[in-house]
């Protein structure tokens, strides 16, 4: 699944590469996926987009937005898979789920893994969905230490679920998934099961700093190494805690990295550094 650094990278590349192009048509590939949700029939999306110019692309948290003319917006949300740009006559993936063709012969394809949605909205409809409803971007001016502390206190499961549950729930902080959560918690020296009520003020500051440092570094490096950008190039961010470092030495103390199951997913941690 893409997280904030990958969404930011894709949005920047889409803005640079696709802005000014004109939609020709949209269609679904031969592949079908029961966890790929469109909010309108493909034929209706194609009819609305036809002859509309792309006027920009942006991201917020884990979501991507592509503006079509003055009135419509494509929203890519919670996506796992690959969005790829194809030059004229360039080969497409053998199997893909969605494609957008442009009048200059270029194409954007999307091959889904896991789940995700693509919604075509009227801009006025989207403007009625303030970002406050879907969590704060952790690199925005609004994400202050004071606001972070307030979000922790307001978390409804703060006495039941550990800090991982808070970090990966986009209604609170939008942009972090299971992958970056591992490194954030490692840098903050916290175990994923730690209850918020037991995290000290000083530890909260470490966590706040770790969130911003990790995401800023990953954005600078174009996302993580197991995800690909618009041109099918892998990111440059190598995770410290992952299935690739499991059973290897902790980069700080040398203790063997452990794997635990928590909240429906694998967590990788150093049992010595993370308390």
pLDDT digits (tens, 9 = 90+) for 153-211: 999 888 888 999 999 988 889 999 999 999 999 999 999 999 999 999 999 999 999 99
Instruction: Supply φ then ψ for residue 84, to 5 degrees.
Output: -130, 140
Categorize the per-residue pLDDT at 30 as very low, low, confident or very high, splitting at 50, 70 and 90.
confident
Under 8 Å between Cβ of 112 and 82: no
Name which of 6-15, 72-81, 146-155, 187-196 the model is least confident about: 72-81
Q: Looking at residue 90, what is its pLDDT?
A: 85
What's the predicted TM-score (pTM) here? 0.93
Distance CA 236, CA 272 (A): 27
Q: Looking at residue 157, what is its pLDDT?
A: 84
Mean pLDDT over residues 217-230, rounded?
97
State whether CATH 1.10.8.50 applies to domain 145-269.
yes
Q: Looking at residue 158, what is its pLDDT?
A: 83
Beta 116-122 vs 36-38: how paired, if at all?
parallel
CATH of domain 4-129: 3.20.190.10
Under 8 Å between Cβ of 176 and 3: yes
> Over the chain, what is the mean pLDDT?
93
Categorize the per-residue pLDDT at 129 as very low, low, confident or very high, splitting at 50, 70 and 90.
low
Tokens standing for residue 169: 């729930």
Mean pLDDT over residues 128-152, rounded?
84
CA-nearest of 190, 208, 178, 204 to 62 is 178
- In the predicted model, is pLDDT for residue 133 greater than 80? no
Cα-Cα end-to-end distance for the chain: 27
Tokens standing for residue 217: 């570094």
CA-nearest of 109, 44, 49, 50 to 79 is 109
Distance CA 228, CA 248 (A): 25
Domain locations in the chain? Answer: 4-129, 145-269
Distance CA 144, CA 132 (A): 15
87-104 confidence digits (pLDDT tens): 998 889 988 999 999 999
Under 8 Å between Cβ of 151 and 172: yes
């Amino acid at each position: 699944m893409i997280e904030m650094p990958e969404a930011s990278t894709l949005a920047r590349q889409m803005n640079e590469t696709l802005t000014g192009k004109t939609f020709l048509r949209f269609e679904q590939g031969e592949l079908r996926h029961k966890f790929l949700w469109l909010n309108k029939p493909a034929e209706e999306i194609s009819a609305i987009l036809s002859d509309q110019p792309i006027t920009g692309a942006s991201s917020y948290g884990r979501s991507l937005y592509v503006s079509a003319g003055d009135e419509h917006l494509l929203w890519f949300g919670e996506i796992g898979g690959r969005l790829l740009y194809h030059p004229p006559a360039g080969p497409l993936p053998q199997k893909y789920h969605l494609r957008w063709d442009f009048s200059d012969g270029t194409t954007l394809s999307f091959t889904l893994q896991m789940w995700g949605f693509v919604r075509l909205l009227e801009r006025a409809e989207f403007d009625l969905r303030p970002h406050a409803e879907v969590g704060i971007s952790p690199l925005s001016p609004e994400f202050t230490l004071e606001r972070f502390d307030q979000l922790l206190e307001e978390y409804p499961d703060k006495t039941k679920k550990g800090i991982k549950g808070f970090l990966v729930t986009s209604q609170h902080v939008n942009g972090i998934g299971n992958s970056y959560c591992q490194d954030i918690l490692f840098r903050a020296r916290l175990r994923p099961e730690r209850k918020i009520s037991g995290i000290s003020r000083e530890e909260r500051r470490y966590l706040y700093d770790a969130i911003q440092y990790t995401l800023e570094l990953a954005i600078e490096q174009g996302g993580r190494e197991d995800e690909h950008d618009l041109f099918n190039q892998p990111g440059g961010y190598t995770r410290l805690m992952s299935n690739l470092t499991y059973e290897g030495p902790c980069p700080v103390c040398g203790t063997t990295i452990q794997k635990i199951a928590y909240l429906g997913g694998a967590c990788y941690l150093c049992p010595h550094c993370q308390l």
